[in-house]
Amino acid sequence: MTITDATLTQHGFLASGAGRVLLLACGALAREILAVKDAGGLDHLDLQCLPAIYHNHPEKIVPAIEVAVTKHRDDYDKIFVVYADCGTGGQLFEKCKELGVSMVEGPHCYSFFETNAVFESRDEMTAFYLTDFLVRQFDAFVWDPLGLGRHPALRDMYFGNYTKLVYQAQTDNADLQAKAQVCADRLGLTYEYRFTGYGDLETSLAAL
């Protein structure tokens, strides 16, 4: 699902005004954020997404967030960054602190979807995680960027130390479950399905 500023404006998600909160989010979370927003009646939250492909390029997240906060700061009472650390090595946290904005807690979305407390208690060092978004976009975000179609031998180099693929499902979708099983088979990993819902994402947005 591609979400642009024009699309968001059309649906009323970028209208500024008193009492409104701007969510600056990873594009990979757009569907989930809109679902939480609609289910909770959180009409004061507006959404703007950074490119989802930054999931694979965390070095681009911090500069993009700084630009977006600077651009929109005067239009909103509050800006909330819907990223966890996401591979920035603590740099996003420091930048948000410098800019005076808050962000979702946790090391990455796999953690906050499961809730950070539960994820930390699992200590799963050999698990590879997929969310609803990554199951849908497996080829574009995993298979193709890693060159696994062109060079099958790379699979064991990349995934040889993993033991299982965990599908953290935000929705109960049989088609996505079947596709996640195929993803696990393609990577040569044991498959585990785990329904998480929206976890700490939902509670973080509700608290706004």
> Which region, left, alpha or beta, applies to residue 41 given φ > 0 means left and ψ of -120 to 50 means alpha?
left
Q: What is the pLDDT of residue 77?
A: 95
Q: How far is CA 100 from CA 70, 73, 81, in A?
A: 11, 10, 11
Q: Which phi and psi (to 5°) does residue 24 adopt?
A: -100, 110
Share of the chain above pLDDT 70, in %: 91
Q: Are 90 and 46 in contact (CB under 8 A)?
A: no
> Locate tokens 């009492």: which residue?
19
CA 5/CA 25 separation, integer angstroms: 13
Tokens of 174: 């049989």
Residue 200 clears pLDDT 60, i.e. is over it: yes
Q: Are 105 and 116 in contact (CB under 8 A)?
A: yes
Task: Give residue 18's pLDDT band: very low, low, confident or very high (50, 70, 90).
Answer: low
pTM, whole model, 2 decimals? 0.88
User: Domains, the chain, ranges and CATH?
Assistant: 5-104 (3.40.50), 119-195 (no CATH)
Task: Render the burial of 53-75: b for 16+ CB within 10 Å, e for the rest.
Answer: ebbeebeebbeebeebbeebeee
CA 140/CA 27 separation, integer angstroms: 14
Task: Give residue 114's pLDDT band: very low, low, confident or very high (50, 70, 90).
Answer: very high
Do the bridges between strand 45-50 and strand 102-103 make them parallel or antiparallel, or are there none, so unpaired?
unpaired
Quote the Cα angle for 178-108-1, to 5°. Answer: 50
Nearest to 128 by CA among 175, 174, 165, 74: 165
CA 132/CA 44 separation, integer angstroms: 26
Quote the Cα angle for 82-12-198, to 5°. Answer: 35
Interval 161-172: pLDDT, tens: 999 999 999 999
- What is the pLDDT of the chain when averaged over all its residues? 92
Interval 65-88: pLDDT, tens: 999 999 999 999 999 999 999 999
Q: What is the pLDDT of residue 5?
A: 43
